[in-house]
């Protein structure tokens, strides 16, 4: 597409040395990198930044950006048999193709695409299915993320929109909407639950909830509604102090300032798409008054 013909409020820029779209409208400011089709910043008008981006995030080809919204595909973590790399799949490690940029009132809609050959070139030894991906990012007062899998042959894949949400302090943050759901606790390895009351944080938290729908994060300063469609699970992750200290792209004290809420189709709830069909995994984030 012609990047010199962009609608008002959208500019093609280099951000941290990589190509990106910068959005500045009455509804929001935002940055979306072509690398990983990664939304790295979104600040709705009148709000503090909604997404957490590590100040030590690495921006370079072949590397995942720590923060914002990484896309995990076609496997999650090391995959269902635990033997795949790179972690969370190759699509967050490579540049996607910008296909379309539209302005609709105060909303900006960016569409990206990634073909199987390009994704395969990142991890040639790993199994990558015959699928094309498109990703529509709508940036306004709400953030709407829609990842569509276009199956060229029967596909059985994992996927997640791995959103890092900025919070005042994870220790005083809660997530409502998962009450009653069972979950895999990846810290202990146990199938656990049901979840009693809101999710609160008192240590490393890495859970795959058997639930998909709308949850609400409250950190005392702001309430964020996170809605999921087309997935089977909700992943909640915070590394806490010890694990954060071992991560090279995160300051040691940064673990207090984010929680990941991930719209996911992973483990025993993958996305199965017959040849010729498509499936969309969607997450919407809506800041509401406390």
Subset of 190-209 contacting ligand BG6 (CB under 6 A):
206
Report the nearest approach of ligand BG6 to the CB of residue 5 (Å): 35
Q: What end-to-end distance do the CA atoms of the chain give, in Å?
A: 41
Report the nearest approach of ligand BG6 to the CB of residue 135 (Å): 18
Please report whether residue 63 would count as binding ligand BG6 according to CB under 6 A.
no
Q: Return the closest-CA partner of residue 148 out of 273, 19, 23, 9.
A: 273
Interface residue with ligand BG6 among 63, 87, 256, 278 (CB under 6 A) is 87
Report the nearest approach of ligand BG6 to the CB of residue 152 (Å): 27
Please report whether residue 33 would count as binding ligand BG6 according to CB under 6 A.
no
Provide the residue count of the chain: 290
Size of the site for ligand BG6 (CB under 6 A): 10
Calpha distance 241→190 (Å, rounded): 22
Subset of 258-277 contacting ligand BG6 (CB under 6 A):
262
Interface residue with ligand BG6 among 37, 41, 51, 64 (CB under 6 A) is 64
Q: Return the closest-CA partner of residue 205 out of 188, 219, 180, 225.
A: 188
Interface residue with ligand BG6 among 162, 222, 257, 267 (CB under 6 A) is 162
The sign one gets for the Cα dihedral 235, 259, 172, 215 is: negative
Q: Which residues pair with 191 in a beta bridge?
A: 184
Comparison of 145 and 235: residue with beta carbon closer to ligand BG6: 235
> Which residues form the catalytic set?
162, 262
Interface residue with ligand BG6 among 133, 235, 250, 259 (CB under 6 A) is 235
Taking CB atoms, the residue at the shortest distance from ligand BG6 is 87
Q: Return the closest-CA partner of residue 138 out of 52, 40, 39.
A: 39
Interface residue with ligand BG6 among 35, 38, 88, 222 (CB under 6 A) is 88
Comparison of 101 and 201: residue with beta carbon closer to ligand BG6: 201
Please report whether residue 186 would count as binding ligand BG6 according to CB under 6 A.
yes
Query: What separation in angstroms does the CA of 135 have from each of 148, 180, 276?
Result: 6, 32, 18
Report the nearest approach of ligand BG6 to the CB of residue 211 (Å): 15
- Phi and psi angles of residue 241, each rounded to the nearest 5 degrees, phi first: -70, -50
Report the nearest approach of ligand BG6 to the CB of residue 138 (Å): 23
Summarize as ranges the residues that interact with ligand BG6 (CB under 6 A).
64, 77, 87-88, 162, 186, 206, 235, 237, 262
């Amino acid at each position: 597409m012609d990047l010199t013909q962009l609608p008002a409020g959208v500019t093609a820029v280099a951000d941290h040395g990589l190509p990106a779209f910068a959005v500045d409208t009455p509804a929001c400011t935002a940055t979306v990198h072509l690398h990983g089709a990664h939304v790295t910043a979104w600040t709705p008008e009148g709000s503090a930044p909604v997404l957490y981006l590590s100040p030590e995030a690495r921006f370079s080809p072949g590397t995942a950006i720590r923060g914002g919204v990484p896309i995990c595909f076609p496997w999650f973590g090391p995959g269902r048999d635990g033997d795949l790399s790179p972690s969370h799949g190759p699509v967050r490690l490579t540049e996607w193709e910008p296909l379309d940029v539209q302005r609709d009132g105060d909303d900006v809609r960016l569409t990206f695409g990634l073909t199987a050959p390009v994704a395969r070139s990142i991890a040639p030894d790993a199994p990558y299915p015959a699928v094309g991906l498109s990703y529509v990012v709508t940036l306004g007062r709400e953030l709407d993320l829609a990842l569509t899998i276009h199956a060229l042959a029967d596909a059985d894949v994992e996927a997640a929109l791995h959103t890092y949400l900025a919070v005042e302090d994870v220790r005083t943050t809660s997530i409502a909407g998962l009450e009653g759901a069972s979950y895999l606790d990846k810290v202990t390895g146990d199938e656990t639950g049901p979840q009693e009351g809101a999710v609160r944080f008192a240590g490393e938290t890495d859970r795959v909830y058997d639930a998909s729908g709308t949850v609400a994060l409250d950190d005392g300063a702001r309430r964020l509604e996170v809605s999921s469609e087309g997935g089977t699970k909700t992943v909640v992750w915070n590394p806490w102090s010890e694990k954060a200290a071992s991560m090279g792209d995160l300051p040691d004290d940064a673990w207090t300032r984010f929680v990941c809420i991930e719209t996911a189709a992973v483990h025993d709830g993958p996305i199965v798409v017959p040849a010729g069909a498509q499936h969309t995994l969607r997450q919407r984030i809506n800041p509401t008054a406390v």
